[in-house]
């Protein structure tokens, strides 16, 4: 089977962009050239690698296998290049990090301090919900992953690096906002606006409620912290969010943290990577940066 490294990069671009045109643009070749290279790869493999459905590229099972192989080879080559740079006394490379949406409130500052010390590093940051990050983790698409509820798998290494306290919030105009202390039962008849099922925050909240045999009255489920804060500020109910998501003053956000027995729920932020995968030098340095910075939070 004769496939060049450049052809593998082209196929990986097709897999990630979902379009031959976009992949050709990313690889700086014409679309006819890209199409010809893809036909050569298909002939070399001996079975269809993709099909076009509704103008989008959909990989076949063989195509998925080739994409995984191409990604693994590209990662190894990039890691080799970074190790050679390290031998030359250089610190540069590309760092790919995927984070769950709540982490976007603090990860830019951690990346900023890292880039200050390592200006030659390019950062590719992907922000998705937990399901999206877990999917990327399964496909090994990034160097490191940051989430509050990692999958429980033997092939993963998850290291806690920072607290993620979950707190109850209400509108500043809510009747409970002036109470100095509340019990969980004080929330029994209060409508709750929670994150969608499958999010790390929701999983931790549900676990806490089950532990205390509390049955919440769920009015609404939303996919972003901003939407939840807006709805809570509007007086439609209470919520439980990460304290990291409460940016801005009480006057600016229109919400206040309630003092409820059993809260904050003590969760953690984890940096995750595949246990069997050797981290690139840049990824290893960034991971150490996260662990070193955790004491400042």
DSSP 8-66: HHHHHHHHHHS-HHHHHHHHT--HHHHHHHHHHHHHHHTS--EEEETTEEEE-HHHHHH
- Per the CB < 8 A criterion, the answer to whether 1 and 69 are in contact is no
Answer yes or no: do 41 and 171 share one domain.
no
CATH of the domain at 36: 1.10.10.10
- Per the CB < 8 A criterion, the answer to whether 7 and 45 are in contact is no
Answer yes or no: do 111 and 226 share one domain.
no
CATH of the domain at 127: 3.40.190.10
Q: 67, 88, 111: which is the final residue of a domain? A: 67
Answer yes or no: do 92 and 218 share one domain.
no
What value does the mean pLDDT take over residues 203-208? 94
Answer yes or no: do 144 and 96 share one domain.
yes
Q: 18, 50, 67: which is the final residue of a domain? A: 67
Supply the range of the domain harboring residue 248.
164-267
Answer yes or no: do 15 and 105 share one domain.
no
**Can you give the pLDDT at residue 49?**
92
**Can you give the pLDDT at residue 249?**
62
**Can you give the pLDDT at residue 93?**
76
Answer yes or no: do 154 and 84 share one domain.
yes
Cis peptide before 264 (omega within 30 of 0): yes
Question: b/e string for 167-196 if b means 16 or more Cβ within 10 A?
Answer: bbbbbbebebbeeeebebeebeebebbbbe
Q: Are strands 191-195 and 217-222 parallel, antiparallel or unpaired?
A: parallel
Share of the chain above pLDDT 90, in %: 53
| Most confident option among 1-5, 34-38, 289-293 | 34-38
Number of domains in the chain: 3
Distance, CA of 68 to CA of 29 (rounded, Å): 23
What value does the mean pLDDT take over residues 24-45? 89
Please tell me the least confidently modeled range out of 143-152, 163-172, 234-243, 282-291: 282-291
Answer yes or no: do 221 and 252 share one domain.
yes
Answer yes or no: do 174 and 244 share one domain.
yes
Q: 67, 82, 104: which is the final residue of a domain? A: 67
Q: Kindly tell me if the per-residue pLDDT of 166 is higher than 60.
A: yes
Q: Are strands 255-258 and 156-171 parallel, antiparallel or unpaired?
A: antiparallel
């Amino acid at each position: 089977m004769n496939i060049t490294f450049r052809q593998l990069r082209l196929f990986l671009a097709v897999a990630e962009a979902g379009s031959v045109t976009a992949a050709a643009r990313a690889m700086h070749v014409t679309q006819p050239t890209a199409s010809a290279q893809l036909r050569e790869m298909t002939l070399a493999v001996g079975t269809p690698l993709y099909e076009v459905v509704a103008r989008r590229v959909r990989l076949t099972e063989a195509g998925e296998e080739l994409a995984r192989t191409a990604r693994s080879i590209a990662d190894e080559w990039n890691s080799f290049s970074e190790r050679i740079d390290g031998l030359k006394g250089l610190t540069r490379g590309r760092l790919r990090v995927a984070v769950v949406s709540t982490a976007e409130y603090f990860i830019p500052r951690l990346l900023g301090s890292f880039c200050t010390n390592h200006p030659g590093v390019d950062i590719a940051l992907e922000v998705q919900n937990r399901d999206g990050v877990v999917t990327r983790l399964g496909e090994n698409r990034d160097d490191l992953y940051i989430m509050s509820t990692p999958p429980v798998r033997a092939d993963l290494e998850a290291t806690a690096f920072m607290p993620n306290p979950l707190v109850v919030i209400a509108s500043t105009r809510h009747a409970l906002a002036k109470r100095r202390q509340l019990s969980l039962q004080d929330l029994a008849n209060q409508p709750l606006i929670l994150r969608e099922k499958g999010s790390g925050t929701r999983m931790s909240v549900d676990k806490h409620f089950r532990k205390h045999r509390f049955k919440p009255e769920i009015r609404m489920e939303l996919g972003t912290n901003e939407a939840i804060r807006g709805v809570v500020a509007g007086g439609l109910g209470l919520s439980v969010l990460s304290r990291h998501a409460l940016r801005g003053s009480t006057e600016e956000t229109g919400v206040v943290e309630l003092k409820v027995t059993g809260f904050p729920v003590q969760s953690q932020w984890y940096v995750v990577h595949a246990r069997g995968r050797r981290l690139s030098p840049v990824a290893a340095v960034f991971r150490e940066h996260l662990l070193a910075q955790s004491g400042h939070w």
